[in-house]
Amino acid sequence: MVLGKTVEKTRNIAHIFRKEFRDQLSIAVTAAFAFLIALAWKDAIFESVNKIISSFNLFSNIYLFRILSAIAVTIISVLGILIVSRITAQKKIENSPSKPITPKN
């Protein structure tokens, strides 16, 4: 009887581990793709900021130019993160079950 409970508990833990592993692997792969996307967009955003800043003739002080570029890219990135976070949070609320699911012990 004790052996049966131990085996069942071990199976439950293994099932939870496999699910969590898949979830974490999915997050890691998604993050890797997001990083690639960010690198692709970095150049486009950087060039756009360069054009805007160059129209104000701020190239005489390269440090000021780099700081302004970094601030502009940061603001654009934070806005993107906020938009995606709100969309994701809304989808989680819509898809969440009425009762939380807890593993059996």
| CA dihedral (14, 103, 30, 35) positive or negative | negative
Burial grade of 55 (CB within 10 A; 0-12, 13-18, 19 or more) = exposed
- Residue 101: is its pLDDT beyond 60? no
pLDDT digits (tens, 9 = 90+) for 39-92: 888 888 778 877 877 787 766 667 777 777 778 878 888 888 888 888 888 877
Q: Could you tell me if 77 and 69 are in contact, meaning their C-beta atoms sit under 8 angstroms apart?
A: no
The confidence score (pLDDT) of residue 16 equals: 92
DSSP 59: T
- Residue 9: is its pLDDT beyond 80? yes
Q: What is the pTM of this model?
A: 0.46
> How far is 42 from 55, CA to CA, in rounded Å?
20
**What are the φ/ψ torsions at residue 25 (nearest 5 degrees)?**
-65, -40
Query: Quick count: other Cβ atoms within 10 Å of Cβ 14?
Result: 10
Q: How confident is the model at residue 17 (pLDDT cuts 50, 70, 90)?
A: very high
- Residue 30: is its pLDDT beyond 80? yes
The confidence score (pLDDT) of residue 100 equals: 53
The confidence score (pLDDT) of residue 58 equals: 61
Contacts of 25-33 with CB under 8 Å at 24 or more apart are none
